[in-house]
Amino acid sequence: MSSQTFLFASLDSKSPTTARKVHIRRLYDLMQLCLQRNDLPRARKAWCILARCKEIDWRTMWKTGIQVLGDDCLTSPEDNSSRLEFLRSMRLQFPEQQEAILREFALRLIATEKYREALDELELYLHVIPYRDNPVLNVYAGLLALHLSQTPDDQRAATQDDGSCPLLRNAQAHLEKARTLDPENEVAKAFLTQISVMQDPSYGFKIGDRESDEERMEVEEHEQRQRSKRVKT
């Protein structure tokens, strides 16, 4: 039995010592090979058998479970509900991996352009340990808040009388938290610089001035054409 070779490393690195364990390892290899070949029907059959084996803790294989379900959410957002429900279930059943599962959950929502839902889901957890000390989750929340602050509908809803944008402040807070936790995080640094530029009081006026100049030039050109027509007549 010890001379058996397998294509993929399984969760149990020990060499199988019984015929049953050898069969499980071969089935695991088959599932992984089917995933590599994008043969999802066969991969799902192998997964269903493995999940019923007492030697396999299928909860620890949640990343493989996502692969078995498929990645068509990237092209068909409406078909992503089964992946999200699977991840919700894993978060309840496998608390040790909740941070990683929440990160995957947020990415799935982002892939289906559910930006507001992704931000709400992150902010639901980011005020408690261990989530609040996770720099990656804080970066995700910061970038989502920044994106939504530039969306016209969200911007109108979030803008206060003084012209400030709560979403922009949220983005800054999350990115600053990420930079504190991970001082070398280049993403957090870059977007904090961008937010500083956007918060400059002259930022909006510069845009407005440019638009005013363009409008003034159009008016002057129109008047010039009208004068030329009158001279010709």
Q: pLDDT per residue over 50-100, tens digit each?
A: 888 888 877 777 778 777 776 554 445 555 677 788 888 888 877 778 888
In a domain, 2, yes or no: yes
Question: What is d(CA 90, CA 46) in angstroms, rounded to the nearest whole number?
Answer: 20
In a domain, 4, yes or no: yes
Residue of 7, 57, 3 lying closest to 27 (CA atoms) = 7
Mean pLDDT of 192-208: 69
Q: In whole numbers, what is the pLDDT of the chain averaged over residues?
A: 76
Determine the pLDDT at residue 31: 87
To the nearest whole percent, how much of the chain has pLDDT over 90?
Answer: 24
How confident is the model over 90-129, as pLDDT tens digits? 888 777 788 888 988 998 888 888 899 999 999 999 999 8
In a domain, 125, yes or no: no
Quick one: tokens of 7? 């294509």
In a domain, 18, yes or no: yes
Residue type, 75: T
- What letter does residue 38 receive in the DSSP assignment? T
Quick one: tokens of 134? 């996770």
How confident is the model over 149-181, as pLDDT tens digits? 887 654 444 444 433 478 889 999 999 999 999
- What letter does residue 163 receive in the DSSP assignment? S
Q: In total, how many domains does the chain have?
A: 1
What's the predicted TM-score (pTM) here? Answer: 0.64
Residue whose token pair is 């007492």: 54
In a domain, 29, yes or no: yes
In a domain, 151, yes or no: no
Q: Predicted confidence band at 2 (pLDDT cuts at 50, 70, 90)?
A: very low
Q: Are 101 and 94 in contact (CB under 8 A)?
A: yes
Q: Predicted confidence band at 209 (pLDDT cuts at 50, 70, 90)?
A: very low
In a domain, 221, yes or no: no
- What φ, ψ does residue 225 adopt, rounded to 5°? -65, -40
Query: How many CB atoms lie under 10 A from the CB of residue 192?
Result: 18
In a domain, 42, yes or no: yes
Residue 31 belongs to what domain range?
Answer: 1-62
